[in-house]
Structure 1
Amino acid sequence: MYKNIKTLIDLKNCKPDHAMALIEILNIFSGKWKMIIICALFQEDIRFTDIRRLIPAITPRMLSKELKDLEMDGIIKRTVIDSTPVLIKYGLTSSAMDLSDVILSLIEWGVKHRKVSIESNDLPCASLSK
């Protein structure tokens, strides 16, 4: 995703390990669906079809891809339950559960920012909503 990592690392006010951490964060969480999927899994481990029900706009193919990516990045765990038929549930890893406060803070900031931006017409599309 980031072709010129050296440029990010060479920033005067950013330590190399901080730059690398930011790059990793952006690589893991970038995209339209990943944060929404993570939020859907905060309450409990659920099946693929349950996630689809919670996020109706995502296609099965995209959901499958995003789940695989998040699993490879250590954000979600995939549990196979030996039953008939076999059940597969997805849940957050303990590392991902540590993100709950961060995600709640981001949501709070987003709500405030959106409200202020719309009220002050800072958004380019704000005039369309009136």
Structure 2
Amino acid sequence: MSVTNAAVSSQVTAEVPTGPCGDDDCGIRDVLDRLGDRWTVLVIVELSKGVRRFTALERAIPGISQRMLTVTTKRLCRDGLVERIAYPTIPPQVDYQLTPTGRSLADTVFGLADWSRDHKTAIATARDQWDADHPDELR
């Protein structure tokens, strides 16, 4: 490699960030892991409507099992996105609500939903074009 190529190569390497946050660990992998599971976004959307009891959450989210709702709410509580409020009654009564951090995430989720809605047709058109141009790929 010539001296000129080495200089250009080092400049390019220095200008390209190592990830979406540059060199620091902004936590994006943790957030994407949490949001990428099947139920988290649905729980956050439901809780953005207000305080919900466990059974109300379970009824509002079609297909979620009691176990998965328990696991999801525990993870969201651990991450500081949801607050669990237990009342000393018989039978036990538990409410869930978004924390301020959870509400700010809900705003972002709704922004992503708006973007998806606005670009749904363009994405479908691009996919149809790709499939027509590349019939043997991604299937």
TM range (shorter): 0.7 to 0.9
Rate the CA distance shift 1:33–1:62 in 2: closer, same or farther, 3 A. same
- TM-fit CA distance, 1:14: 4.2
The share of aligned pairs that are identical, in percent, is 26
Contact kept? 1:28, 1:73, Cα under 8 Å: no
Match of 2:18 in 1: 11
- TM-fit CA distance, 1:109: 0.8
Q: Distance in 2 between matches of 1:70 and 1:12?
A: 25
**Partner SS state of residue 64, structure 1:** helix
TM-score w.r.t. structure 1 length?
A: 0.75
2:123 maps to 1:117: yes
Q: Distance in 1 between matches of 2:73 and 2:107?
A: 22
Contact kept? 2:44, 2:106, Cα under 8 Å: no
- TM-fit CA distance, 1:24: 2.4
State the aligned residue count. 115
Letter in 1 for 2:93: L
Q: 1:60 aligns with which of 66, 71, 74?
A: 66
User: Based on CA coordinates, which of the two structures has the bigger radius of gyration?
Assistant: 2
Q: Distance in 2 between matches of 1:33 and 1:123?
A: 29
- TM-fit CA distance, 1:13: 7.0
Contact kept? 1:38, 1:92, Cα under 8 Å: yes
Match of 1:41 in 2: 47
Match of 1:5 in 2: none
Residue ranges of structure 2 left out of the alignment (5+ in a row): 1-16, 133-139
Letter in 1 for 2:22: K
Residue ranges of structure 1 left out of the alignment (5+ in a row): 1-9
